[in-house]
Amino acid sequence: MLRQDRWDTIVIGAGPSGSTAARFIAQCGFKVLILERERFPGQGKACGGGIPFGLIKQLSLPESIIEKKIYSHILHFPSGVKIYKYRRPIFATVYRSSFDRFLVERAVSMGASLITQCRVFNIIKNKEGTTAITNRGRFFSKLIIFANGASNLAYRMSGVGINLRKNNTYLAIAYELDDKNTALDAFEVFYNPHSIPWGYYWIFPKRDRLNVGVDCLCSKIKKNLRFCLDEFINTDRYLRDKKRIRFIAGLIPACLATRLVSDNVLVIGDAAGMVNPIIGEGLKYAIRTGELAGVSCVDTLMLKRFDRKTLLVYPRRFHRTGEFCWLKIWHLIAGFFSNLDKQTLFMQISIVYIYIARIIFKFMKKKIYGG
């Protein structure tokens, strides 16, 4: 007989968005259960580990979590190289395993419960709430938050979130290369329209490792991406002799969800398509949607009303934020250039992105650094 437990909220996924939502709900005294399919949060996540520098202060991240402070962007095009340098860091790198573990442990310290290696097979709704059917048992709750990354799970089970297809999803793969005390302190991006017609290679430095990867829109993949990445590393003088420690792969959504809630259900982070479609950045959107979903769940739990109409407070709050406005802008930019030559597309949107980022940083640095 499968075990059945009762909770106020179940969060599917222990990534940044799920842990943030769980923390907000648990600290208000409600019973929260986080279900994570991997052995530990962040395991095998295909992510360069780049975070906006402002998140360090916002999340009170300890210095031990920060691997590298990033002072420049280097964009490599077939026509040349563009370098953007900053007097102060605007990004930092982290290991997702350490970053995600820190966030979920903070949620647990607030009263949330965590079950790992737990896969959700189905969601059953009734008048009283929802039941999550998993390999670890049945768990009943009044609310369920899908925070399980780039997946069709929420869409298939509740009609919310993203419906991943080849033309709206990137495949990303990466190696971690050994590079003790690396001197690199820049995000490097390489555009090669011949091998990767709709994507790019990247190098993100950590303290003692390099995250080197590639992504490409699934519908535009011409060659085996791992073969392309191996070739990229083997032909680079600095990279080719580095020991390959780990290989990771995953999906990145390039579409925004049109529905974020249904009866008893919310969707946040990557599961809602909250990712910059130009560069694949999603952490700040994950944190923001986690915060707003958490606050909205507390409101509905206090009201004891869990219908879609009541839960619409969450998307309404998010749609009023600066993060949502920028997401819409990035999607408009990507759409505007989508009919151009692939190389031109990435040249234009990368330059536009860096230009806008520099303007934002100019106005935000006083807030970030307190001076």
> Are the beta carbons of 186 and 195 closer than 8 angstroms?
no
Q: Where in the chain is the domain with CATH 3.30.9.10?
A: 50-94+166-253
- Split at pLDDT 50, 70, 90, the class of 371 is very low
Q: State how far the Cα of 266 lies from the Cα of 211, in Å rounded to an integer.
A: 32
Q: Per CATH, the architecture of 50-94+166-253 is what?
A: 2-Layer Sandwich (3.30)
Residue 1 has pLDDT above 50, yes or no: no
Q: State how far the Cα of 147 lies from the Cα of 269, in Å rounded to an integer.
A: 6
Q: State how far the Cα of 202 lies from the Cα of 192, in Å rounded to an integer.
A: 11
Q: Supply the mean pLDDT for the chain.
A: 88
Q: Is 181 left (phi over 0), alpha (psi -120 to 50) or beta?
A: left
Q: Per CATH, the architecture of 4-45+95-162+257-336 is what?
A: 3-Layer(bba) Sandwich (3.50)
> Are the beta carbons of 253 and 168 closer than 8 angstroms?
yes
Handedness of CA 89, 95, 99, 102 (dihedral sign): negative
Express each pLDDT in 149-188 by its tens digit: 888 889 999 999 999 999 889 999 999 999 998 888 899 9
Residues in the chain: 371
Q: Where in the chain is the domain with CATH 3.50.50.60?
A: 4-45+95-162+257-336
Number of H helices and number of E strands within the chain? Answer: 10, 18
What is the three-class DSSP state of 173? strand
Q: State how far the Cα of 67 lies from the Cα of 232, in Å rounded to an integer.
A: 24
Distance between start and end Cα atoms, the chain: 60
Q: Is 218 left (phi over 0), alpha (psi -120 to 50) or beta?
A: alpha
- Split at pLDDT 50, 70, 90, the class of 368 is very low
Residue 286 has pLDDT above 60, yes or no: yes
**The pLDDT value given to residue 169:** 92
